[in-house]
Amino acid sequence: MAQNTIDIPISGMSCAACAGRVEKALAATEGVSDAGVNFATKKAMVGFDPAVFGPVRLVEVIRLACYVPEISHATLSLSGMTCAG
């Protein structure tokens, strides 16, 4: 199983319990192998299996937990391409 890790800035958390709610929601998501939310830095670090879902699903989980993921850009690694077409 290949694993990717992503850091997601989150706004709307006002206490450590908020961070705990986001962490619990992420950890309960199928395909997530590791989830940690740091209230002080306002970031989630999530390990996930890209064969199960992509980062967009993690953003949805954070939104469903009633917090705001702050995504401004994405860097993607692509493999398997053999030509410009």
42-82: pLDDT as tens digits:
999 999 999 999 889 999 999 999 999 997 766 777 788 88
The pLDDT score that the predictor gives to residue 78 is 79
Exposed/middle/buried for 22, CB within 10 Å: 0-12, 13-18, 19+?
A: buried
Lookup: tokens for 44: 């989630």
Q: pTM for the full model?
A: 0.80
Exposed/middle/buried for residue 62 (C-beta within 10 Å: 0-12, 13-18, 19+): buried
State the DSSP code for 18: H
